[in-house]
């Protein structure tokens, strides 16, 4: 009888241990993983993409990806610890007009809304490049209800 009890207890322990190992994600359980803060560089906001882009915004997308995305994230969603999202109410046209983007690219910006530090001037961008990038950012904003 003792043998059956020991065998039963061993089987329960094996099943419990296997269940524990299956629910692990690396060294953390799934519940622990869900509560971990986002890693540096993670997108700060969720961005809905427009159905289509104008020719100017399409050029701006390429320019944004080449110059701006390193800090402002893919699709201007921001990057935690690196740069703010441009698809955000703070950057709506009535608060930061298009000229603010031109000046930011040309002169840089002192940190004032976010704690990412100052933005340096962006070298090598023409006014046409910036106009295209602004067109892309505004298209993303409109697709996310920021007008």
**pLDDT tens digit sequence for 18-53:** 444 434 444 444 444 456 777 888 999 999 999 999
pLDDT at 41 (0 to 100):
86
**More confident: 32 or 147:** 147
Arithmetic mean of pLDDT, 59-80: 97
Q: Across all residues in the chain, what is the average pLDDT? A: 84
Cα distances from 24 to residues 17, 21, 91, 96, in angstroms, run 11, 5, 41, 46
């Amino acid at each position: 009888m003792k043998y059956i009890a020991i065998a039963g207890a061993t089987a329960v322990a094996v099943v419990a241990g296997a269940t524990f190992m299956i629910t692990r994600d690396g060294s953390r359980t799934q519940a622990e993983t869900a509560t971990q803060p986002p890693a540096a560089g993670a997108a700060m906001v969720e961005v809905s993409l427009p159905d289509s882009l104008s020719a100017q915004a399409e050029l701006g997308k390429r320019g944004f990806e080449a110059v701006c995305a390193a800090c402002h994230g893919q699709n201007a969603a921001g990057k935690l610890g690196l740069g703010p999202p441009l698809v955000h109410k703070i950057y709506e046209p009535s608060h930061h007009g298009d000229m603010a983007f031109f000046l930011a690219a040309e002169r840089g910006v002192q940190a004032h809304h976010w704690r990412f530090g100052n933005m340096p001037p962006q070298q090598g961008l023409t006014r046409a490049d910036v106009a295209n990038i602004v067109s892309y950012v505004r298209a993303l904003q409109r697709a996310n209800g920021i007008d």
